[in-house]
Homo-oligomer: A and B are copies of this chain.
Amino acid sequence: MKTTETSRFVAELRSRILDGTLPAGTRLDAERELAVHYELSRSTIRAGLQALASEGMIQRKIGRNGGSFVTTPKGDSITSSLQLVIGTGGIAERDLMETRLAIEPHCAELAATRMSGEEIDKLSAIQSEMTAAIRPVGNPTDRPAFLRANADFHLHIALGSHNQALSAILKGLIGPIEALTDDPHLLGPGQLRELVQAHEHIFSAVKSRDGFRAADVMRKHLRAHIQLSSER
């Protein structure tokens, strides 16, 4: 690690936050005060706070009674980090699909036992949107709507697991992956109907609180999906 003044300051503050000396909600001193305290210029202090802010460890608010407030970074931080890495091609598509395959069946299993009634209703609504998109009374399929509903379905299963880590990870994966999957040659009308049917099976397993079956069906659904993609 390059030991610049800024990074020293950041390390100091970060460790104080991590070891609990500065719990969430704590208000740090104003930049000008920190500067005299740490015997650094305000510029350097600002650089450090900026770094901590972009890591999600503090939030800064302007104005009187403003300042830098310690916050516990939530799942969003993981999600955006994933999106960045994936967005810049830092991880191969194969790896992403395998990760989905590890995460989603487990999510489905948990969701089956943990989803509330409202959440199940919501899932049903998403499923309806999906079916609606596939046949707008004779018209051609509304692909964007269909894909959005598809992603939403998987996302809500993950949220239904009531597990912040799992849902944060999937949230980061789902967008980029679906973007890669949108290939008209690959997803013809037949495939779309198969997809809806698979979701129907997953939904019914979740609704009947059958975690094992939910996981199993989800696994098969994803494997079929992968099978398609690999035929390019």
- Alpha-carbon gap, A17 to B89, bound state (A): 11
On whether A98 and B106 interact (CB within 8 A), knowing A50-B47, A78-B78, the answer reads: yes
Number of A residues, CB within 8 Å of B? 47
Taking the closest CB of chain B, its distance from the CB of A168, in whole angstroms, is 8
On whether A73 and B102 interact (CB within 8 A), knowing A95-B163, A95-B166, A165-B96, the answer reads: no
Oligomer: number of copies: 2
A163 touches B99 (CB 8 A): yes
- A27 beta carbon closer than 8 Å to chain B: no
- A33 beta carbon closer than 8 Å to chain B: no
Chain A residues proximal to chain B, CB less than 8 Å: 17-18, 24, 43, 46-47, 50-51, 53-57, 72-75, 77-78, 81-82, 84-85, 87-92, 94-96, 98-99, 101-103, 105-107, 110, 161, 163-166, 169
- Alpha-carbon gap, A73 to B91, bound state (A): 9
A88 touches B163 (CB 8 A): no
A54 touches B57 (CB 8 A): no
Chain B residues, CB < 8 A from A103:
102-103
